[in-house]
Amino acid sequence: MNLVMIGLEIHAQITALKSKLFCSCYGNYRDLRPNTNICEICSGLPGTLPIINKKAIEYATMTSVALGCKVPDKIMFYRKNYFYPDLPKNFQITQYNVYGFSSIGADGLFELDDSKKIRITRVQLEEDPGRIAYSEEGMNVRNSALVDYNRAGAALIEIVTEPDFNDPKEVRVFLNKLSLMLEHIGVCDTLLEGAVRCDVNVSMKGGNKVEIKNINSFKEVEKAINYEVTRQTSMYNRNLKIEYETRHWDDRKKITFKARSKEEEHDYRYFPEPDIPVIVLGNNFVSTLKGYMPELPNERFNRYVSKYKLTEHTSNILINDKKLADFFESCVKIYFSPVEIANVLITDLKSFIDNNSESTDYLSNMKVKPEHIAELVKLIEGNMISRLTAKDFLIKIAESGVSPSEVLNSTNSFKIVDEKTLKEAIDTVFDNEASAVNDARNNPEAINYLLGKVMKFTKGRADPKIAASLINIKLRQSEN
């Protein structure tokens, strides 16, 4: 196959903001009656001026820093002129890299994995347009679209990459890492409807660039690229010229289709936005911001490995689910035993949740609280209960919200450390598993099988260490 080159243009809303980019309407426009979250400014009424949100600049700067971009001392805004019914002013206030001024972030580098880095062309701050709801009913509305400005003016961060991806899978990895990063900075809740959107450009080596617009979730991006790569490859194989064009992604049919060329041909007539002066960030802006910038995923990873002594695998599982990682840290704050807490969360709690919950916000709605996990781990480490018992406890806590010690008292689930009781259990298992006992004499692996049977017989309460040593003793005894 020919070399494929893929570049991305990602739009992420700064969902963390309370207000819009240029006015004091709600940043969160979701679930509101049409055109009720608007003011004179964001609906573009004559005589109004954009009043830029300080916090939006901070979030965009953090994103730029996290993507390894340079942030200039001064930034400015540009107007991008085009007519569209969802654009109240019929121009968009955005940024543009020309004539000595750059957008808020430029020339970044983002590590995909050990062997690959993606160049970030720029990070810019801009306003979201409104939304168009097409009505299908009635002759009267045949030609007209219904426009809602509630979203108009919400703050967007646009991230543009160089065409450095050669495989759709790399794009997936990138978008996952990016989402995680945005979530860690607290810029964007990527799971909110419409919070992230992606335009993609795909070209074969030596061929023209094809842009794909309208991909409204990260999940669809890989599918759209796969479709486009297949399409272009087959055209190439049939010696058909790939035209420079814009296509749209149809997420119902899962295909890209050619946009009408006319509406995509724009002469945007960029020029500096006269209503927003050049914003002087100052020399210490970035260093000050770094001081209170939330920890990034890779920094968190390093801390988990070095300070908490977690394995890289365990660290990754926690960090890839930011809310779980936050939960983990709350537990560790109460009782410092990171390795055991991580084990309980990953092997027990997570499997339990995966089975029982579809909700993305499962942790905050759950009855199991960090105090419970901390106490549970204390019981395990104090040799009071076995790890298998702990798993049963979790289910009970999740159902009723009672504390582990209450469960312990009410169920009499103390770990069995008493050798006499254990010996009786082992005797029973040996009687029932004669052939396994024979195997075990020659094959040390089979001992684990016997131990498992003992655990099962004691309903998981047997202390596995003591039980294992008793099984070994009994095997040696019966040999003689």
Partner 1 sequence: MAHLHDLLAYEVVEGIKGQQFTAEQYVGSMIKRIEDVDSKLRSFITVDSEGALSSAKIIDRKIKEKVDIGTLAGVTIGIKDNISTKGIRTTCASKILEDYVPSYDATVIRKLKENGAIILGKLNLDEFGMGSTTEYSSFYSTHNPWNLDYVPGGSSGGSGAAVAAGECTVSLGSDTGGSIRCPASFCSVVGLKPTYGRVSRYGLISYANSLEQIGPICRSVKDAVMIMNIISGKDIMDNTSIQSTPIAIKSKLGKLNIAIIKELINGSDHDVTRTVYSASEKFKDIGYSCEEVSIKNLDYALPSYYTLASAEASSNLARYDNIRYGFDFPIEEYKWDTYFSNVRKNFGQEVKRRILIGSYVLSSGYYSKYYLKARMLRSLLKLELLKLFNKYDLLIGPTMPILPFKIGEKIDDPFKMYLVDVNTVLANLAGIPAISIPVGFSNGLPIGLQIMAAPCQEQKLVDASLALEDTIDIQRRPKSI
Partner 2 sequence: MISIEELKYLAEISKIDLTDDEINRFPPQLNKTIEYIDILEELASDESITMDLHEINFDELRDDVVKKSDGQPIIKNLTEEGFLRGPKMK
End-to-end CA distance of the chain: 68
Which residue of 29, 59, 91, 430 would you call a contact of partner 1, by CB under 8 A?
A: 91
Residue 418 makes contact with partner 2 by CB under 8 A: no
Least Cα distance to 374 among 328, 431, 305 occurs for: 328
Cβ(32)–Cβ(195) below 8 Å? no
407 phi and psi angles, rounded to 5 deg: -60, -40
Nearest Cα to 57, choosing from 105, 120, 25? 105
Stretch that binds partner 1, among 50-58, 109-117, 222-230, 436-444 (CB under 8 A): 50-58
Nearer to partner 1, 269 or 333 (CB): 269
Order across the sheet with 78-81: list the strands. 91-94, 78-81, 271-272
Closest CA to 42 of 149, 158, 195: 149
Give yes or no for a contact between 95 and 103, defined as CB atoms under 8 angstroms apart.
yes
The binder of partner 2 chosen from 6, 12, 57, 380 (CB under 8 A): 57
| Residue whose structure tokens are 């003016």 | 153
Length of the chain equals 480
How near is the Cβ of 246 to partner 1 at its closest, in Å? 17
Residues in CB range of 168: below 8 A, 6 or more apart: 6, 222, 225, 226, 229
Q: Which does 46 bind (CB under 5 to 8 A by kind): partner 1, partner 2, none?
A: partner 1
Residue 19 touches partner 2, criterion: CB under 8 A: yes
One-letter amino acid identity for 3? Answer: L
**Letter for the amino acid at 94?**
T
φ and ψ at 212, to 5 degrees? -115, 120
Note whether 44 binds partner 1 by CB under 8 A.
Answer: yes
Does residue number 40 form part of the binding site for partner 1 (CB under 8 A)? yes
The site partner of 140 among partner 2, partner 1, none (C-beta below 5 to 8 Å per kind) is partner 1
Give the residue, chosen from 99, 193, 206, 477, that forms a contact with partner 1 under the rule CB under 8 A: 99
Residues in CB range of 368: below 8 A, 6 or more apart: 349, 394, 397, 398, 401
CB nearer partner 1, residue 36 or residue 448: 36
* Site for partner 2 contains 49 (CB under 8 A): no
Residue 43 has which token pair? Answer: 């609906």
Closest distance to partner 1 from the beta carbon of 35 (Å): 10
Closest to partner 2 by CB, 157 vs 242, is: 157
* Three-class SS state of 242: coil
Pick between residue 95 and residue 315 the one whose CB is nearest to partner 2: 95
Nearest-angstrom CA–CA distance, 229 and 216:
19
294 binds partner 2 (CB under 8 A): no
Of positions 49, 109, 133, 192, contacts partner 2 by CB under 8 A: 133
The 237-266 site mask, x for binding partner 1 (CB under 8 A), equals: --------------------------x---
Q: Work out which of 140, 239, 364, 477 binds partner 1, going by CB under 8 A.
A: 140
State which of residues 49, 85, 176, 237 lies at the interface with partner 2 (CB under 8 A). 85
β-bridge mates for residue 9, sequence order: 160, 199
Quickly count: other Cβ atoms within 10 Å of residue 309's Cβ.
12
Residue 229's contacts (CB-CB under 8 Å, 6 or more residues apart) are 4, 168, 202
Q: Is 66 a binder of partner 1 (CB under 8 A)? A: no
Does residue 97 touch partner 1 according to CB under 8 A? no
Tell me whether residue 266 or residue 441 sits nearer to partner 1 (CB atom).
266
Name the residues that contact partner 1, by CB under 8 A: 40, 43-52, 79, 81, 83, 85, 88-91, 99, 140-145, 147, 263, 267, 269-271, 274-277
Name the residues that contact partner 2, by CB under 8 A: 17-19, 24-27, 33-36, 38-40, 43, 45, 51-57, 74, 76, 83, 85-86, 99-100, 132-134, 141-149, 260, 263, 267, 269, 272, 276-282, 285
